[in-house]
Structure 1
Amino acid sequence: MPFQSKYDPEHITKLSSDMLALLTKEKVPVDLALMVLGNVLSNVVNDNVPAGRRSELVKQFAKTLEQSVVSGHH
């Protein structure tokens, strides 16, 4: 069953496109892009999620990311 987001798909696509455009413009290699995105994710989680919920949220995020990468969905 596909995940239903509470956010507008067009807004998600726009934000994603903007971030990818910046990485492309800067000619960021894959390993650096992953480090930067990882830092952003860490900051978002640490700044916005209560400590007691972080572990479960990150596990679910990693599971969803893995499923997306393995299945080839963006």
Structure 2
Amino acid sequence: MPQKSRYSDEQVEQLLAELVSVLEKHHTPTDLSLMVLGNLVTNLVNTSIAPAQRMLIADSFVQALRASIDEGNIH
């Protein structure tokens, strides 16, 4: 079941487009993109979330990521 967000689709799509643009500008390979984005997520959790909530947030993030993965072929 999709969760409601306090952010509009437009806000999310705009930020996503800007992040993708930066990665494309630098011709960033997929593995490096994932490393950088993973480090960004880790930094956000460690600097913006109370220690007692970090694992809960990380688990929720992982569940959302797994739920959004398309297991079909990319070609």
Q: What is the TM-score with the length of structure 2 in the denominator?
A: 0.89
C-alpha displacement at 1:37, in angstroms? 0.3
Matched with 2:11 is: 11
Deviation at 1:25, TM superposition (A): 1.1
Across the aligned residues of Structure 1 and Structure 2, the Cα RMSD in angstroms comes to 1.4
Aligned position for 2:41 = 41
Q: Which one has the bigger helix percentage?
A: 1
Alignment of 1:1-74 (within 5 A): 1-70=1-70
Q: Which has the higher contact order (CA 8 A, sep 6+)?
A: 2
Tell me which stretches of 4 or more aligned residues in structure 1 moved more than 6 Å.
none
- Rounded to whole Å, the distance in 1 between the matches of 2:28 and 2:70 is 23
Distance in 2 (CA, whole Å) between partners of 1:22 and 1:32 is 13
Q: Matched residues in 2 for 1:28 and 1:68: separation?
A: 22
Shift of 1:71: 6.7
TM-score normalised per structure 1: 0.90
- Match of 2:15, SS state, is helix
Q: Secondary structure at the match of 1:5?
A: coil
**Percentage of identical aligned residues:** 35
Paired residues in the alignment total 72
